[in-house]
Structure 1
Amino acid sequence: MPQIAIIGSGFAALTTTRALRRRGVAAAITVISPREELHYLPSSIWIPAGLRRAEALKLPLARFFARHRVRFLKASVTGLDARTRTITTDTGETVTADHIVIASGGQFLKKLPGIEHAFIPCEGIAAAEAVAARLAALDGGTIAIGMATNPNEPGAIRGGPMFEYAFILDRLLRRQGRRDRFRMVFFSPSARPGQRLGEKAVDAILAEMARRGIETRLGHKMMRIEPGRVVTEAGEIEADLILFQPGMTGPEWLGATDLPLSPGGMVRADAFCRVEGCEGVWVAGDSGSYPGPDWLPKQAHQADLQAKAVAANIAAALKGHPPARAFTAELVCILDGLDKGMLVFRRGRINLTLPALRPLHWLKRAFERHYLRAYR
């Protein structure tokens, strides 16, 4: 029986699993990950406001794996030999497969001096809890929220959540009647952060910040983060709470492989999500570097689209056919503000931005329930 190994237990990994079984692929599937849970990070933005609890966003996957006839190996990958298609793990167990799907996500660059003095919200649910605890302990002060990218691969950024944190914390403090005791500052080395969303979206975001009284410090290179301050080439931002989203790169274990890597440290792939020059090795989600428009996003929706392409192409390969399914480049994002949301959509030449509307907030919550139904 053919063997398929999937590295990871996030969006791309699980969507690949579901899509393979939906296509009638009967191959043995092994999922390798240190975590047998899906952490639904898109909703972690609501933890500081108490709209979501951390435990409600952690979904055990044992039943999902049983339904889809998956063998789960609890382990961290330490290496991959593309020639023999063999994966090594920290448990000492190796896995050899006919097809390997790299869907382990990326990691955040932490080369900026003093980055340990900032919270990185998208690093996980625990980080969102830490932000909530720190905010609750403050009687007032300055909240600095910022983002940057991978200098070697400018598209390797996940900036949307930082806009959401800015809007959500502003709205939360207003609800609590203490916004007047806080100064809020948004900072970025980019003069126009969020450009992958489109020029109209950037204009709308910056206008919304101005309307809410959120100051901006844009277009200046970051030097370091110190306890209580962000230091840029243009000066310092004193802060009692610092949220910072650095650029992304590939997982650390890629350095111990013979896989082709992009300048930003991610696995190079073609439009079919094949790893370049590596027969039977595929990549989906944040671990990969793909051809496409300069606005190609690093987000769960794009990871799902890449995973569906991978599943279609593996199914074809198992029947002796060449890959024919290119992934769709598509950005769908609702930037939430706790009671309203702004919609941004990009596909091909279409770039749509809708202003902050109350129904869009509820649409984002409804989508969460719909998406997680397969895992509950």
Structure 2
Amino acid sequence: MAKIVVLGAGTGGMPAAYETKELLGKDHEVVMVNERPMFRFVPSNPWVAVGWREPDAIVLPIEKYLAKKKIGFICARVDKIDAQNNQLITNENQTIDYDYLIIATGPKLAFSHIKGAGPEGYTQSICTLDHAQQCNIDFEDLMANPGPAIVGAFQGASCFGPAYEYAFILDKALRDAKIRHKVPIHFVTSEPYIGHMGLGGVGDSKSMLESELRQRDIKWICNAQVDEIFDGKMHISELNRKQEIDFTHELLFKHAMFIPPFSGVDAVANVDGLCNAKGFVITDEHQRSTKYPNIFSGGVCVAIPPVEATPVPTGTPKTGYMIETMMTAIAHNLKSIIVDGKAPHAKGTWHAICLADMGDTGAAFVAMPQIPPRNVAWFKKGKWVHLAKIAFEKYFMRKMRTGTSEPVYEKYVLKALGIERLEDDGK
């Protein structure tokens, strides 16, 4: 009997546990290890931040639902991975043995790279549910005492969609409250142009998102390097293509929300030979570690090179559809190894599919493959995207409760986009 441990119960780790158990069956053990007892649906955090969604609506007790599928659960923080001895060491010095390990921890939020950044400094975040709840408190203060707002993504960020989402959602919330005229908004981003999104743009994303920002009277600064943040004041350098400072800005703010750069969590990053310099897991095309053959990894914690060099550093996002296919590939590869006695064969896709809410409308894009040049580059907007994202939350939470292995993106998101399926692996 093989023991498979899944480290991290996020939007990648939970499906990985369900699918692996389903494929391996009762003769093999699957155990989930997570620092918190609750699953949290991260894509809905922007709604929590403005009070459009209650936190209880996007959380589930992990152990209760895993137990229905005969999957074990250990609620503990892992401080060390002993890859040589196939063990995890928790903060309470508990040892967890494994035969195979699936790393799905997500990222470490590197606010420390920018002085004054993050919830412990002077800016808000929507990267975790706790941060979104804290952001909501700051948002409510903005509603009571209006003033300037800044939304954006710091240098080194690789996840730009939520920053755009929050800017548009914030605008809608302020208009609904009839106080938008009291809150000037700046969008500040490390991207070389609006709509780059760490992907080199997708279709007409540049002109479309610029138009949406203009319509909402949201001003923007690109190639932005945030130098330091003080209470109510942000110092920004705007770089040119030669990476020279072209302009400097000093923006005042009452409310600021920024996406930070990501790095690997310490327990993963500290494993010799497992990760790149930023702490992201280096895998082959089958999501398998290039150094440790019994370790697999998928999601935001894996290493993907930047699409291109930009004046201010930007990373490449790992979107939901890509993550879903990575985890499915891992489950099938473990079956090949453990049950069938064969080499791994399944591959995750490098396509990108994203639904971004914009308050009362939304934007959707498809990039096949994610890194250009592409076979398909498609970007559209409409109220249907807003509704599709609401529906997607419902379907994904249902998947977490039922433990079904149905591919949510392929079954529901592609259907909403009018796409049958994506056949090409995109690499």
Q: TM-score, normalised to structure 1's length? A: 0.93
Q: Counterpart of 2:153?
A: 147
Amino acid at match of 2:16: T
Q: Is the 8 A contact 1:13 1:103 kept in 2?
A: yes
Could you list the runs of 5+ residues in structure 2 that have no partner in the other structure?
A: 238-247, 309-314, 370-374, 402-427
Q: How many residues align?
A: 369
Farther-moved stretch of structure 1 (90-99 vs 22-31): 22-31
Q: Is the deviation greater in 285-294 or in 28-37?
A: 285-294
1:271 and 1:291 in contact (8 A); partners too: no
- Aligned counterparts of 2:397 and 2:79: Cα–Cα separation in 1: 30
The alpha carbon displacement at 1:118 in A equals: 0.7
CA distance in 2, matches of 1:100, 1:195: 29
- The amino acid across from 1:210 in the alignment is R
Residue 386 of structure 2 is aligned to residue 369 of structure 1 = no
What is the identity, as a one-letter code, of the residue corresponding to 1:283?
A: S
Deviation at 1:247, TM superposition (A): 1.2
Q: Partners in 2 of 1:300 and 1:119 — Cα distance?
A: 23
Residue 367 of structure 1: CA displacement? 1.1
Tell me the equivalent position of 1:68: 69
User: Which stretch shifts more, 304-313 or 90-99?
Assistant: 90-99
CA contact (8 A) 1:160 1:194 kept: yes
Report Cα offsets for 1:32-59 as digits up to 9, x if no partner.
1111211011112112443210111111
1:125 aligns with 129
Deviations 1:146-190 (A, max 9, x none): 10343xxxxx61110110010011011111111111100011233
> Shift of residue 6 of structure 1?
0.9
1:351 maps onto 2:377 in alignment:
yes
Alignment of 1:59-138 (within 5 A): 59-110=60-111, 111-115=113-117, 116-122=121-127, 124-138=128-142
* Cα distance in structure 2, aligned partners of 1:194 and 1:290: 15
2:177 aligned residue = 176
Which residue pairs with 2:350 in the alignment?
329
Q: Deviations over 1:224-272 (max 9, x none)?
A: 1111111112121111111111111110222432242213221111111
Give the letter aligned to residue 22 of structure 1.
Answer: E
Matches within 5 A, 1:282-321: 282-290=296-304, 297-318=317-338, 319-321=340-342
| Alpha-carbon distance change, 23 to 148 in structure 1, aligned in 2, over 3 angstroms | same
Give the letter aligned to residue 278 of structure 1.
Answer: Y
Q: Distance in 2 between matches of 1:98 and 1:217?
A: 49
**1:107-134 deviation digits (Å, cap 9, x = unpaired):** 1112111112111211x11222222222
Q: CA deviation at 1:208?
A: 0.8
Matched residue type, 1:117? Y
Q: Amino acid of the residue matched to residue 125 of structure 1?
A: L
Could you tell me how far apart the structure 2 residues matched to 1:93 and 1:359 are? 48
* Structure 1 residues 177 and 186, CA gap change in structure 2 (3 angstroms): same
Question: Once the two structures are aligned, what percentage of the paired residues are identical?
Answer: 22
Post-superposition CA distance 1:208-231 (Å, at most 9, x none): 111110011222322111111111
Match in the other structure for 2:189: 188
- Residue 215 (str. 1) matches residue 219 (str. 2): yes
Return the alpha-carbon distance in structure 2 between the equivalents of residues 157 and 296 of structure 1.
5
* Shift, 1:293, TM fit: 6.5
Q: Which residue number corresponds to residue 8 of structure 1?
A: 8
Identify the range of structure 1 (91-100 vs 197-206) with the bigger mean alpha-carbon deviation: 197-206
CA distance in 1, matches of 2:58, 2:390: 13
Q: Which amino acid aligns with 2:322?
A: Q
Contact 1:270-1:290 at 8 Å conserved across structures: no
Distance between the aligned counterparts of 1:49 and 1:33, measured in 2? 27
- Equivalent position amino acid for 2:357 in 1: D
Q: Deviations over 1:45-80 (max 9, x none)?
A: 112443210111111122221122111111111111
What secondary structure is seen at the aligned counterpart in 2 of 1:370?
helix
Matched letter for residue 395 of structure 2: H
What is the distance in 2 between the residues matched to 1:185 and 1:205?
14
Q: Distance in 2 between matches of 1:37 and 1:252?
A: 21
Structure 2 residue matching 1:373: 3-state secondary structure: helix
The structural deviation recorded for 1:25 is: 3.5
1:232 alignment partner in structure 2 = 236
- AA aligned to 2:279 is G
Counterpart contact for 1:333–1:343, Cα < 8 Å = yes
- Structure with the greater relative contact order (CA < 8 A, sep ≥ 6): 1 or 2? 1
Higher mean displacement: 20-29 or 156-165 = 20-29
The letter for the 1-side match of 2:101 is I
Q: Is the 8 Å Cα contact of residues 17 and 31 (structure 2) preserved in structure 1?
A: no
Return the letter of the residue paired with 1:232.
I
CA pair 128-183 structure 1, distance change in 2 beyond 3 A: same
Match of 1:260 among 251, 274, 288: 274
SS in 2 for 1:297: coil
Distance 1:80 1:171 in 2: 45
| Pair 1:297–1:25, CA change in 2 (3 A) | farther
- Asked if the contact 2:158/2:198 (under 8 Å) is kept, the reply is no
